Amino acid sequence: MGNNTRNFKTIVFVVLCFRLSWFIIYAGTILLVTIIVTILARLIGLFQNSNMFLFFMMLFLYGLSIINLAFMLTPFFNKTQVQAYTGLSKETFGGIISLYSLYASTKIRDIFFEKC
């Protein structure tokens, strides 16, 4: 029993280190891209009346949530392409629903969210 527990702990440790290393790489990439996008948005004057720190935090936290979504989907699919298409479909569908609820007429929006 003790040997199986030790083997399990070793496997969990290796998987954790593997995932953590990829998370650090992706988080660094997202941090770099977020800094560049925030600077460009500031230079262009995209959101003049907004706090750029909040804009940066919103983009950075969204990127971190996408990384966690990708990690969450990995056990369910063997092929990387299927996982990528599933995550992309989920994000696209969520965006369409949020845009629909934002721009739909008030009556349709009230009916759609009546039970919430």
pLDDT tens digits, 4-54: 777 777 877 887 888 888 889 989 999 999 999 999 989 988 888 889 999
Provide CB contacts within 8 A for 64, sequence distance 6+.
27, 30
Amino acid identity, position 94: G
On the question of pLDDT at 102 being above 70, the answer is: no
| H or E stretch at 43 | helix 2-44
109 vs 68: CA distance, rounded Å:
30
Q: What is the pLDDT of residue 81?
A: 76
Amino acid identity, position 5: T
On the question of pLDDT at 3 being above 80, the answer is: no
User: What are the residue ranges spanned by the domains of the chain?
Assistant: 1-71, 77-116
Q: What is the pLDDT of residue 114?
A: 64
